[in-house]
Chain A
Amino acid sequence: MASGHMSVEEVKKHTRIYWVIFSSLLLLTGVTVGISYIHLPFTYAVILALVVASTKASLVALYFMHLISEKAVIYFTLALTAFFFVFLIIIPWFIPWDFATH
């Protein structure tokens, strides 16, 4: 059910969930900072940091932004955005870095 049509009872139920999500986000922030003190090899550190950040972002998007119960048109918009976003992030890996030496 989209957020605009929630009943008062449903909203009350959701308010409890919001505080649970808040606690989870605080916990995951602690995990993120804790990982940085371990000084893992760079690749592992990046993967772990992105996994935790993505988990936090998913919690915010699903529960605070109500994407867990949104309409298809919103999902379609976001899927298209995600496709182009991934494309943007992949581009740097295809830059021939040795061009400066030629």
Chain B
Amino acid sequence: MSVQIPYIDEPHPVTGVTNAKLGVWLFLASEVMLFGALFSALITLRLGVNDWPHGYDILNVPLATLNTVVLIFSSVTVVMAWASLKMQNLSRFRTYMVLTILCSFIFLAVKAVEYGHKFEHGISPATSNFYAIYFVITGLHGLHIIGGIIVNAYLLGPGSRMWKTQPERFTGRIECAGLYWHFVDLVWIFLFPILYLL
């Protein structure tokens, strides 16, 4: 016997949003606290010492700027993928989703180059408090990028079969995946100046 989860493709009469969407927002709230704790750790480490390095002196600002642009562009493509479904255009949805996933891989490749340079010079999380928090926060953010790639690739591939039978529900799934992806972008918007430019 299968149990149908209520209000996943139509708004709940009490909240006014689908349970799926509310669930994603609650998940994102927990993610805010996760990254908030790490930002708090960063501030704690920074306030505890007098000599803290400037990010622009020891990190690669041009590469990080490139990654910022890539991630911002992917935020537009994922919202355009959702908008394409709202306009009943599946092929355009696919194009935008492919672009989103491509941007995710570019971001990871650039990050890998950045990490590679550090490791080549013998720099690791054990080098200093700055590098410890740098690798932890950017590493966790990178894991979120990988999570996003898995979800988006599923929705582009086998998950898109739902479009034929339940288009509203599929559009809702893309909206939820998009919310997660925008959150990943939001985290980077703060990480970039705090780690690289101060």
- Which residues does A use to contact B, with CB under 8 Å? 2-6, 8, 11-12, 14-15, 18-19, 21-22, 25-26, 29, 32-33, 35-36, 42, 45-46, 49-50, 52-53, 56-57, 60-61, 64-65, 70-74, 77-78, 80-81, 84-85, 88-89, 91-93, 95, 97
Contacts and interface: CB of A to CB of B under 8 A. Distances in A.
Contacts of A33: 61, 65, 197
A77 B144 CA distance: 22
A64 B69 CA distance: 16
Contact of B87 (A11, A26, A32, A35): A11
B121 to A, nearest CB: 22
Question: Which of A5, A6, A11, A92 has the most CB atoms of chain B within a 10 A radius of its CB?
Answer: A92
A88 B30 CA distance: 13
Given A8-B87, A25-B72, A80-B29, A97 B189 contact: no
A19 B75 CA distance: 11
Interface residues of B, number: 51
B29 A91 contact: no
A97 B22 CA distance: 41
B108 interface: no
A82 to B, nearest CB: 8
A97 B47 contact: yes
A101 to B, nearest CB: 12
A9 to B, nearest CB: 10
Interface of B: 11, 15-18, 21-22, 25-26, 29, 32-33, 36-37, 39-40, 43-44, 47-48, 56, 61, 65, 68-69, 72-73, 75-76, 79-80, 83, 86-88, 172, 175, 178-179, 182-183, 185-186, 189-190, 192-194, 196-198
A71 B12 CA distance: 11
A88 B86 CA distance: 39
B81 to A, nearest CB: 11
B197 A15 contact: no
Main secondary structure of the interface of B (DSSP, over half): helix
A20 to B, nearest CB: 10
B47 A49 contact: no
A85 B17 CA distance: 24
Contacts of B192: 32, 53
Nearest to B194: A49
Contacts of B194: 49, 53
Contacts of B32: 81, 85
